[in-house]
Homo-oligomer: A and B are copies of this chain.
Amino acid sequence: MKDQYAMTDTMTKEDVTAMILSAKKQAGMTWESIAEKIGMSPVWTHSAAMGMNAFPPEKAKLMVSVMGLPQGAEALLAESPTKIWTQAVPTDPCIYRFYEIVGVYGPTLKALIQEKFGDGIMSAIDFDMSVTRVEHPKGDRVKVEMSGKYLGYNSW
Contact = CB atoms under 8 A, between A and B. Distances in A.
Task: Name the prevailing secondary structure of the A interface residues.
Answer: mixed
Contact of A94 (B48, B109, B116): B109
Nearest to A33: B115
B85 A88 contact: no
Chain copies in the assembly? 10
Contacts of A149: 136, 138-142
Contact of A99 (B48, B56, B102, B144): B102
B153 A147 contact: no
A60 B19 CA distance: 25
Contacts of A114: 80, 94
Given A141-B149, A142-B148, 17 more contacts: A7-B19, A9-B26, A30-B115, A31-B111, A32-B115, A40-B156, A46-B111, A54-B119, A55-B155, A82-B107, A83-B103, A83-B104, A85-B91, A92-B110, A96-B96, A102-B102, A116-B133
22 contacts: A9-B26, A30-B115, A46-B108, A50-B108, A54-B153, A54-B155, A59-B155, A83-B104, A84-B87, A90-B102, A92-B106, A93-B121, A98-B106, A109-B144, A117-B140, A125-B152, A126-B152, A134-B147, A136-B149, A141-B147, A142-B147, A146-B146
Interface of A: 1, 4-5, 7-12, 15, 18-19, 22, 25-26, 30-32, 40-44, 46-48, 50, 52-56, 59, 70, 75, 80, 82-85, 87-129, 131-134, 136, 138-156
